[in-house]
Amino acid sequence: MSSEVMEKLGSNGVVKEHLQDFSIPSSYETAMEALSSLITSQKRGAKSSVGGTYRKLERMSEYLKILGLEEQIDGLKIIHVAGTKGKGSTCTFSEAILRECGFRTGLFTSPHLIDVRERFRIDGLEISEDKFLLYFWDCWNRLKKSELQEKVTEHLPMAPLFQFLTLLAFKIFISEKVDVAIIEVGLGGTNDSTNVIEKPVACGITSLGLDHTEILGDTLGKIASHKAGIFKPQIPSFTVPQLSEAMDVLLERAHELKVPLKVAAPLDNRKFDGLKLGLSGDHQFINAGLAVSLCKCWLQRTGNWEKLFQNDIQEADLPESFVRGLSTAHIPGRAQIVYDTYPESNNSFEVFENSCGDLTFYLDGAHSPESMEACAKWFSSAVKGNQISSSSSFKLKNLEGVWGNGHIRHGSGSMEESNKLIKQILLFNCMDVRHPHILLPRLVSTCASSEVDTLRDKGAKMDNAKILPHEFLYEDASRCSPADNYFACSAVMPSLPLTIKWLRDCVKQNPSLKVQVLVTGSLHLVGDVLKLLKR
């Protein structure tokens, strides 16, 4: 930790509330170092290493008291969303809809891709550095001061990272006087830090699947029970069509708490003049349908539906503001296309999202079998030209490949009217609690069924790669070019920077080559790639 951080924390643990003595850049860097000190080394699923006599949600309640937010949090008109897949998208749709309705919105999501401020959005924009620092140090001061008071130290330690970020979100939204706060659950539901919310306006549960099984359990029923933990007595709640094992548990929990639980139907764009969603992929119509139900409920329960629409809108119709929100919603790292072009007059790369280059990245943070399938469907559609500029439409054929945990295998490409040879590469990595042999088959089989990607080597294994010397790996990959007539390269790259360099070198050295890179398997991987592309 830097001397500046040590000076700020000091022996009394109190950080100066005013930032005049520090420039904004150094002060922000200092805040990031302080925030990093809250990261624990415990493995996911292990028993909490945080000491004290309070349980997790009891600690959250105590932290709220210290921050003076205990009563104010009840004044936030909250939409609370849990789920396995699509909760970030559902929250993003909900925020965009209500913002288009004229309300001041606050959105808390996780994880961030590049900058922690992405987690906190006011009116669709990430919070400014100035405001972030103001609220960050205010929360840090109060919690650190309380931790260092001897009479409570052994009972209430400093808040761990996600608890601190959740508290910071509440502080920001209360201070910024948002009309609505959309809060995404971090993990699970019952024991999640966000579940300190006692009086939400509406709750939503997105599609459920097997994920985080080391914490939530190894069956859909166990996972559904955790997700249903956000239900509050008599608070309207919504979910999407689920497998019966999950739905039965949700209905049972709803009955116990007298929760009016409704199933939101996927949005049918045929009923709304071919509505095009701001988030790509057919699965997003499921998330959009849930967001519409949540927003209608929020507007009705807060007395705003009749004020805005009077009797002009039927229940089954979509107001124009809803359509605008659904069509303009955006979330980085989910079904995102980035064109990385190399300017002739410059030695550095520039990133364009609305133009075409010879190196294109398709980024999606899918990390469960079901989301990998949805990612594959989106990618298959995108590379066929459905989401690419009309100036560069092309068909793909005879492309074969899979890259598992760094492995890349490729077949022959196709030469199109533009005289560009098109090759595809899968850049994949996943967290150690997930397994490539579970994630990758859904991706490969879905691509194959779309006639975009098939494995010629049916015996190819999709498993963790063995670690080899970095220099050997990079040199081996460097000898392999996608421009070869039959490109069959397998490489475990030692780092992302070297991977990006290799891809850029391939395109730079082969003017007749177009490379399409699917980046998936982890939001952390997607974030790191975006950071490198925009550097």
Q: Which residues are annotated as a binding site for Mg(2+)?
A: 110, 184, 212
C-alpha dihedral, 143 to 149 to 154 to 160, nearest 10°: 20
- The four Cα atoms 169, 173, 179, 182 give a dihedral, to 10 degrees, of -10
* Rounded (10°) angle between helices 320-328 and 284-301: 140
What letter does residue 413 receive in the DSSP assignment? -
Strands (E), 295-431: 336-341, 350-352, 359-363, 401-402, 409-410, 414-415, 421-428
Torsion angle of C-alpha atoms 377, 378, 379, 382, degrees rounded to 10: 120
Joined together, the tokens standing for residue 146 give 């309380």
For residues 216 and 174, what is the distance between their CA atoms, to the nearest angstrom?
31
Give, to the nearest 10 degrees, the angle between helix 129-147 and helix 161-175: 120
Query: Who's near 58: CB < 8 A, 6+ residues apart?
Result: none
Non-local (6+) Cβ contacts of 156 within 8 A are 52, 54, 59, 62, 63, 146, 147
Q: Is 426 helix (H, G, I), strand (E, B) or coil?
A: strand
Q: Please say whether the dihedral angle defined by the alpha carbons of residues 29, 33, 36 and 41, taken in this order, is positive or negative.
A: positive
Phi-psi bin for 333: left (phi > 0), alpha (psi -120 to 50), beta? left
Q: Which helix (H) or strand (E) holds 291?
A: helix 284-301
Distances, alpha carbon 324 to alpha carbons 61, 457, 530, in Å: 38, 46, 27
Among the listed residues 91, 118, 87, 93, the one whose alpha carbon sits nearest the alpha carbon of residue 368: 87
Please state, as a whole number, how many other Cβ atoms lie within 10 Å of the Cβ of residue 207.
24
Known binding-site residues equal 110, 184, 212, 334, 364
Q: Which residues are annotated as a binding site for ATP?
A: 334, 364
